[in-house]
Amino acid sequence: MWDVLLESQRLRWSFTPFERVGPMKFGMTHDDVQSAVQGVLAAATRQGTPGGDGWADFWLEPHPDAGLSGPAATTYYDGSIGMAGIALNALRGPQVILQGMRLVGQTPSRLEHEFSDYLAARDIDLRYSQHADPCSPQLGVLLRAQRAGDVVLSRPVVVAKAWADRCWDTSEGCIPQREWKTFQW
């Protein structure tokens, strides 16, 4: 249940703030996202209104080395803009790279330090959620934590520009409450 993919087993995706995460582009419809990840991730669950607000879990296709399957990413949709957020599962999600910084499945304290240094070097603000998650609204990145047995690992949530304002705010931001309640899978 708590199997965590090794770094070498993870998909590797680049991240361009407010544009894309791997093959997924902000603003895509759910159908477009499914087409973009076809053969790599499979949509297992979709909740919400057709073409409107909602979310979808994407699962790994069975990995031949790991022998496991499970949720890898959750996409969040906003009826007015399409795909507006992506949460990468700490246990099985693709490794998302931001200019050499690995964001998924890392020790949260070490990643927070690296993230803080990265932002400071670029004169970018660091914010914290009410859950003490580091966040950069200027990049649309929120670094959450997710349980993996007796340890926690990083679960980044990246958002479209329209959701970046207050993306750290658990009560007034656009990130759905479902995401704020996710701590274990």
Average pLDDT value for the chain: 90
- CB of 28 closer than 8 Å to CB of 36: yes
Q: Model pTM greater than 0.85?
A: yes
Tens of pLDDT, residue by residue over 10-64, are 999 999 999 999 999 999 999 999 999 998 888 766 787 665 789 999 988 665 4
The residues, any chain, with a CB within 8 Å of residue 136's CB and separated by 6 or more, are 115, 119, 124, 125, 126, 127
Determine the pLDDT at residue 68.
55
Determine the pLDDT at residue 185.
44
The dihedral formed by the CA atoms of 172, 55, 134 and 136, expressed in degrees to the nearest 10: -80
